[in-house]
Structure 1
């Protein structure tokens, strides 16, 4: 029998979205002066603009790029980019996990793009992105939230390429450097790396993306939530805090709290360092644990945010497929019951496994305390006591 560990994580939040709140967060610390106010009031707009400006500053977004708040989380922001910009020429959508495959379905079944290529790879792998023609618009996911596989670099995007690069960066920003010069539309949501609340997305546009929006009208109808133009020009008010629909000012204040915390500890570089250190603890532990393996075989492709692992070994291989799928669920469920770790089971569409969020809002000590509990729970399950 393996002894139960003595110490629990102080903050047992390991979900990949919404992720852990920043250390020191408390609801009573949020600025509530905007609550009960119109988001179109001078003060309401000023807080939305402040969230935009802080995001720009911390991410190092170029001055000639636009940053705006969008409805419907990263999904709304990314689909807005696809709906408003694709169809002007050939396109490629690349996917290697569940969300990228959703963007493929959007392109194939909803937009029904006439000149479309798709590139796919299994969970834990990345397709050969060098196959993508430089005159194609490309939609890709910088970091596979549900597989733990990220792009290793942007060498496959040529400088000054003709096509647009539409980048779903929702579990990558604030944890990985973005190559802004090669990106035309980048999206993310508040609830990923910064631990914010759901339903709000961010859309970052290059001058080339703005030119496409202003010069091109897609053949399909655009829902109101995707309409970025006023007449024939981009509605720049959207990128100054005048949102398309009503945002939550409480969620805005929560996001601002996270941004101010990140700035106070050293900004983007400090967030990246924290994510790297956290992920190293988990990846090193996986390598040293014979009954686990990283879902991503190539170290160059491994994320520093949602680290995904799957089970292996003699005992595991004797199980039926149903019992194999139950292993991570039982371990995660037991540790949630004990208030040791919340929401670190793998994604529902991914191969059965565990996924531990390692982004910068998670404390290193909490990860170090979680891992022995997983070892304990595995031993209990293997010996029939769980």
Structure 2
């Protein structure tokens, strides 16, 4: 392999992972020292910290006042499955899926809950399903931004405001990074490890009044594991205590402290609009490089559904694009290894379920200057790795 000239400027922070993502600017582990560590999560002080996190979440996401926030175990997966296991049943269900995570909710609905009245709408390769087929008088499950596919919903026009069914929305990489239309959302889930740069394993669920009414009046026909139960212990109504600082299992108070730091940072930045502006700035920096680079392009060709947050890229140079996926993945792995060796970029490989190429996180904790500095290193790594393909 012929050694090519390396770029002179490295990204200040080489972490471009799509989850867990890098911490917010100015973060330090020393800031966790005031956390209520070694305390019971049921004690008054820690419980107040948990409630504070819920209140700051609702304020930052600009939730309507009648929506309720809680933490659940198992990251976004736990939050989505808690919603599905606890809420589904009274109506037919439509699932829209276009990446591996949407595929999980499809599998849960079809193979685990074994829903009889189930319609599945799928797409792949950076495309999205035909949302015009939705009937939101049925319950509807979809991902706002599919992290692995780099594609998001184009809008919410396909969801009726006066719908009869519930919308259950996986927003794990959309929350805090995109505008959310709360008039079209009944249940929203996400994890701290995406846009807020928080620690993994903790999921958040936000329930609107229509979802709360469903909980109060509907008892699932199937057994619900305790850790997924949004009903009270008698399964006769809403488990209201989970919105008041009590949790279904023991949370990490250190992780809660870390999440609170991120929420406070976001508020100081200027709130949700400032976070979205950071995403737009980061995406613009990456798009400028993509648009002038001949060997790479966006996996999602439709700009109206292209994610500006989890940007997924594919190889398009004819001599590479025509190769089989195993060979293209070999190129990806070689590039990733070279970039990691130089500490120029970490974790820029796509999700294993996606086509070969690259995936760059442009969420609100990222810095546009780092993304600008990344481009020449990707060119160098590609030229180096391409020699042996």
TM class, shorter-length: over 0.9
Name structure 2 gaps, 5 residues minimum.
Answer: none
Aligned to 1:244: 248
Which of 34, 52, 75 is residue 73 of structure 1 equivalent to?
75
> Within 5 Å, which residues of 2 pair with 1:285-324?
285-317=289-321, 319-324=323-328
Q: Is the contact made by 2:136 and 2:167 (CA closer than 8 Å) also made in structure 1?
A: no
Residue 374 (str. 1) matches residue 385 (str. 2)? no
Aligned equivalents of 1:317, 1:261: Cα separation in 2: 42
Write the distance in 2 (CA, Å) between the matches of 1:318 and 1:329.
Answer: 18
Is the CA contact 2:325–2:356 (under 8 Å) kept in the aligned structure 1? Answer: no
Alpha-carbon distance in 1 for matches of 2:376, 2:255: 35
Cα distance per residue 1:110-169 (max 9 Å; x no partner): 000010000001121111111111211000000010011000110000111001000000
> Which residue matches 1:235?
239
Q: Is the 8 A contact 2:349 2:357 kept in 1?
A: yes
Q: Secondary structure at the match of 1:234?
A: coil
TM-score by length of 1: 0.97
Q: State whether residues 9 and 370 of structure 1, in contact with CA within 8 Å, keep that contact through their aligned partners in structure 2.
A: yes
1:24-80 Cα offsets, whole Å, 9 max, x none, are 111011243410000000011011111111111100011000010111100000010
Which residue in 2 is equivalent to 1:84?
86
Tell me which residue corresponds to 1:116: 118
Gap change, CA 1:320 and 1:298, over 3 Å in 2: closer
Q: 8 Å contact 2:328–2:357 — kept in the other structure? A: no
Q: Which residue of 2 aligns with 1:281?
A: 285
Measure the CA separation in 2 of the matches of 1:128 and 1:256: 38
| Number of aligned residue pairs | 385
Secondary structure of the structure 1 residue equivalent to 2:168 = strand
Q: Tell me if the contact between 2:175 and 2:190 (Cα under 8 Å) persists in the aligned partners.
A: yes
Name 1:345's counterpart in structure 2. Answer: 349
What residue in structure 1 maps to residue 66 of structure 2?
A: 64
Do the aligned partners of residues 321 and 154 (structure 1) sit closer, same or farther apart at CA in structure 2, a change above 3 Å counting?
closer
Deviations 1:183-220 (A, max 9, x none): 00000000010000001011000100001111111111
Residue 225 of structure 1 corresponds to: 227
Q: What TM-score, normalized by structure 2, do the two folds share?
A: 0.97
Q: Matched residues in 1 for 2:125 and 2:52: separation?
A: 38
User: CA–CA distance in 2 between the matches of 1:33 and 1:153?
Assistant: 40
1 CA distance for matches of 2:82 and 2:47?
A: 22
Residue in 1 aligned with 2:330?
326
Deviations 1:346-369 (A, max 9, x none): 000111111000001001111111
Match among 327, 337, 340 for residue 336 of structure 1 = 340
Counterpart secondary structure, 1:360: coil
Query: Partners in 2 of 1:320 and 1:160 — Cα distance?
Result: 47
